Structure 1
């Protein structure tokens, strides 16, 4: 899997998939798709977690998994807000707290969850961690 971020400041993520590779994306993030890509729409990691992320994190209840059925498949993805897209590398040493509504896509192994950040954080802005 390779990707590039195009067209700053109103970015689009272009993802190149080889046969059998999968990317998980927020529902509604797809701009275009080239070649034969299998699309599966699922709840995020179970019913209650999906409800929590949807209600508290302002993300979709569902996520789309895009799997290339041949080499040379390409997806174009973007977020709901105008602005730049940045890559965040997530390791086993911990996660990140990001603004609600900012998730676009990840490998299927990334766990998206909503966590309580305290009362002050609730009044300032909603956030979730990944």
Structure 2
């Protein structure tokens, strides 16, 4: 499958499919497709798998698009200003992404909810650390809020990140949630929790989580004056 990412701050990935090739996406991301592509909507592996995806921020159902002839095109657009990251999975590399990170993928890519084993991250991370796991083989497209900064962590190297800024990471990266130390820091600082990431592995950091963008816009919205 060939692809091209277009559109600047409001990106779209355009995939060119040959006969028999299939891509899948979450409901609502498809922008356009040529006429000889067949669409099928299902849970992508049973109801329980669909419910697991819903808990991790996606929809229960996936759309599957299969080319019925060569040189068919389909475009998937990001729902927020940002970037689309293409990642090729080869069967041995697994990616952990934030909820709502999934945009589209080839049919050989597996999507699952990612369960945390460490109690700290499960309790203190809040809903922001309900994650998605991507494995299998094929191209995976993730959508990232704002710009993206990549960090390649060496073995043992640590990085403290605001949880909302984590877009994705390789499964080899260890992470947990730690409380911010100091009462003043907790009350007047950056927040109550940091995500502690430890290498080896690659981390993708997003510069403008949609939640922070919403917070920045709210003060400028007109008040709802009741009469």
**Mapping 1:2-41, distance limit 5 Å:** 2-41=2-41
Asked if structure 2 preserves the Cα contact closer than 8 Å seen for 1:79 and 1:102, the reply is no
Where structure 2 has 5 or more consecutive residues not aligned to the other structure, the ranges are 135-227
- Quote the offset at 1:80 in angstroms: 2.5
Give the alignment partner of residue 126 of structure 1, picking from 115, 123, 130. Answer: 130
In angstroms, what is the RMSD of aligned CA positions? 1.5
Asked if structure 1 preserves the Cα contact closer than 8 Å seen for 2:12 and 2:75, the reply is yes
SS at match of 2:51: helix
Structure 1 runs of 4+ with >4 Å offset:
none
Where structure 1 has 5 or more consecutive residues not aligned to the other structure, the ranges are none
Asked if structure 2 preserves the Cα contact closer than 8 Å seen for 1:80 and 1:101, the reply is no
Report the TM-score, using the length of structure 2 for normalisation: 0.54
1:15-73 Cα offsets, whole Å, 9 max, x none, are 1111111111111111011231100011021111111111x211011111101111121
Larger strand percent: 2
* Pair member with larger Rg: 2
Report the TM-score, using the length of structure 1 for normalisation: 0.90
Asked if structure 2 preserves the Cα contact closer than 8 Å seen for 1:38 and 1:68, the reply is yes
Asked if structure 1 preserves the Cα contact closer than 8 Å seen for 2:114 and 2:130, the reply is no
Asked if structure 2 preserves the Cα contact closer than 8 Å seen for 1:79 and 1:103, the reply is no
